[in-house]
Structure 1
Amino acid sequence: MKKFISYLLVALMVLGTGFAGSQKASAQSTDELEQKIENKKNKQEEIEKEQSNLKNDKQNTEEKIEKNLDKQDSVNSEITTINQKLTDTREKISTKENEITDTNEQLDKLSNQIDELNAQIEKLKKEIQELKERIKKREKLLKDRLRAIQSNGGSMKYIEVIFGAKSFSDLISRSSAVNTIMDQDKDIMETHKREKQEVEDKQAEVKTKKGNVEQKKAEVEDKKASLKSQKQELESLKSELDDQMAEKESLLGDLEEKEKDLENYKVSLEDEQEILRKQKAANQKAIELAKQEKEKLKQLARERQRERKANNNSGSSSSSSSDNSSGGNSDGGSNHSAAPASSGNGMFNYPLSAPVTSGYGQRWGSLHAGIDFGVGPGTSVGSAASGVVISTHSESDGTMNGYGNVVLVSHSINGTSYTTLYAHLSSIAVSSGQTVSSGQIVGTSGNTGQSTGPHLHFEIHRGGWNGSKSNSINPLSVLN
C-alpha cells in the first residue's frame, strides 16, 4: 500500500511536471505568436509609410511629367517658329538665286552687246581709217589747188580765162568749165567736211553706246555682287537656323526620352503601389492567421488546464490516461509552432536545383538585383520559404520592368520581413493572397519578358519589393 501511494505520488509529480512543461510551451508559443503579430503590425505601419512615400513620389513624378510636356510644347513651338523662319529664308534664297540668274542673263546680254559694239568699233576703225586716207588725199589735193591758186594769183586767173575767150561760144565754154571746176572744188570741200563730221559722229556714237553699256554692265555687276552678298547672308541665317533646329530637335528628343523614363518610372511606382497594397493585404492575412493560431494555442492551453484539474480529481487511473493524452497533445502543439521556424531560421531554400549562370551585382551599367538559374522551360519552381503570395503578374500585363510572368511572396523570418521574386516564368501556379509552404510550387521556369534565354531570375528583398531594388540582398548569402 505504501509502495502504491509512493508510485501514485511519483506519477502525480510526473504528470504535474508534464502539464507544467506543456503549459510553459504553450505560453512560449503564445508569446512568440504575440511577437509575430506585433512585428506584422509594425510591418503594416512600414508598408503604410512606404505607400505614402510612393504616393508622394508618384505625385512628384507626375508633376515632372507635366513640366516635361510643357517644355516639349514650348520646344515644339520654338521648332515651329524656326521652321517657319527656315521656310521664309529658303524662299528668300530661292528668290535671290532667281534674281542672280536673271542678273547673269542680263550680264550675258550686255557682254554680247559690248562684244557687238567692240566689233562695230573695229569696223568703224577700219572705215575711219579709210575715210582718214580719203580725207588725207583730198586735203593734199585741196592743198595743191590752193597752192596753185595762190601761185597763179587766186581767183583773177578765172577772170583771165573768161576774158581770154575769143568768141561768145568760147566764153560760154570757158565759163562752164570754170563753174565746173569751182563746183568740183565745192563738192570736194563739202564731201570732205561731211565725211569728217560723219567720222566724228560715228566715233562719238559708238563711244557713247559703249560707255552706256559698260555703265549698265557695271551697275548689273554691282547688283549681282549685292545679290550674292544677300544670298550669303541668307545662307548664313539658314545655317544658324539649321543649327538651332538641330539643337531643338535634340532637346526635344532628350525631353521625349526623359518623358519615357518618367512614364516608365511612374508605371514602376504604380506597380510598387499595387504590390504594396497586395503586400499589406497579405501581411494583414498573416496577422489574422497568427491571431487564429494564437487563439488555438490559448484554447489548447485552456483545455489542458481543465484536463489537469479533472485528472487531479480523478485519481491514478485517470492520471495514466491523462499522461498519454497530454503527451500526444504536447507533441502536436510543438509541431504546429515549429513549421514557421523550420521554414526560415534566417535562411531560405533554393527554389530549384540548377547551376547559377549569373550572379548578384552590377551588370551592363545597372544592378542585377538577383541571381539567374540556368534551366530549361517548364521546370517546377518552389517557394524559398513559407509565406503569403503578394501578387502575380503575367506577361500580358506589360508591367514589372520586363520580368514577364512573375510571382512575389512575402515571408516573416525571425521577426524580419522578406520578399522573394520569381521571374520569367512560363506558367504561374498560385494566386494573390494565397498561403504557401516552403518548397510549394509557385510556377514553372520559362523565357517570358525581357529575357535573353530560358532561365529563372530569383531575387530576395529585405522588406517589400521596390522598383529601385535598393533593399535587395544577394540571395546566395541567405540560401541553405
Structure 2
Amino acid sequence: MKKVTVFILTFILFIPIVNGKNINDLYGELNALESQKNLYSYLNSEDIKSLSNNGLDIQIIIDSLNDEINELDKEITSKEEFINSLKEEIDNVMVYNQVSQGENIYLEYIFAAETYSDMVYRYMIAEQISNYNNTMIEEMNKEIEELNKKKEKLNEKINKLGKERSKYRELEVILKSVSYLDGDSINSSIDDDITSIKKEIALYESIGCSRYMDISACLNIRDGGNFIFPLDKGCVSQDYLSNHKGIDLACNGEGTNVYSSAKGVVSSITYKATYGGNIVYIYHIIGGKQYTTIYGHLLEVKVNVGDVVDTDTVIGLVGGESTAYINGGYDKGTKGAHLHYVVVEGFHVNDFSSYTLNPRYFNTYPGILNGYFRRKKA
C-alpha cells in the first residue's frame, strides 16, 4: 500500500504547477461561505416570512412593469405610424407648393376671380390650404414631442424593471440558502458546505499538498481511467432509485474482496455507522471531472485515509450479514451480504444525496437478480 505522502516526497520535483484548483481556492470558497452564514445568522422565522412577502410584492411590481412596458410599446408603435402618415401628407403638400411655385399660385388663383364674391371665396380656399399645412406641421411636432416623452417613460420603466429583478434575485439567493426549524432557529445548508470544504482541505493538507499546488497534480490522480465493477463478479439485488441512491451488488458471501472502481485517493472512512456500517469514500478525477465513489456495508476496511488506490487495491470486504441489526449487528441498513455502491459527482464526504449518479451510466450491469457481471481491468 502506497501513501500519497511517500509518492509526493519522491516525485515532488517533477509535479507540474498548473493553473487548476488549489487549497488556496478552497480557503476562498470557505471564507465566502462563512461570510454568507454570518449574513444570514440574524434571520429568524419572522424575518424569512417577511422576506418571502417582500418577494411576492416585488414579483407583483415586476408583472405590473411588464404590462406597462408592453402597453407603452404598443402606444409608441401607434404614434410612430401616425407621425409617419402626417409626414407623408405634409410632404405631398410641400411637393405641390414647390411644383406650383409656392405662394404665387395662391395669388394667381385669387386674382383670377371674375367677381368680388368669387375672389373672397378663392381667398378663403387658399387660406384653408395654407392653414391646413401649418396645422399638420404643428400636429406632427406635438406628436413627436409626445412620442419622445413616451420613449423616456419606457426607458424609466425598463430601468426600474431591471432594478426590481435584481432585488428579486438577491432575495431568491437568501431564501434558498436558509430554512428554519423550531420557530426562530436557523438551519442553513451552508453549514453542510462549510463542513465538506473543511474536510476536503484537511485531507489535502494531511497528505502534503501545498497551498498553491494544483490539487489533481498533488494527488497524482489526474487520469483515473474509467470506472469498472468493484467486485470480481456478482449480481444486482437492488437498483438505483430516488429513495435508494446507489446500487446493491450481491450474490457473494461475506468476506469477498471489494476493489476501488478507479484510480483515486481514500478521502474518508466511516466505521460502524448505524446505516451503512463501515463505509469507504474514494476521490477520483475521471476525464477531467471530480467524482467520489462510496462503498457501504463493509465487513472490514483494508485502507486508510490518504492511501492512493487503483483497480487492483482491495479496499475492504463485503459485509452486511453478520453486521446486520436483525442478526445482532450494528447496521440497520442491511439484511444480508452485499455491497452498497454509490457514484457521486464532485468531492463529498457527508451530505451527497443530491449529487449521486446512477452507476449504470458508467458500467453495464445486468437486471435485478437477472444475470451476473464480471470484472474486467480498464
TM-score bracket, shorter-length normalisation? 0.3 to 0.5
Which has the larger Rg?
A: 1
In terms of fraction of residues, the more helix-rich structure is: 1
In terms of fraction of residues, the more strand-rich structure is: 2
Q: Taking structure 2 as the reference length, what is the TM-score of the superposition?
A: 0.42
Q: Taking structure 1 as the reference length, what is the TM-score of the superposition?
A: 0.34
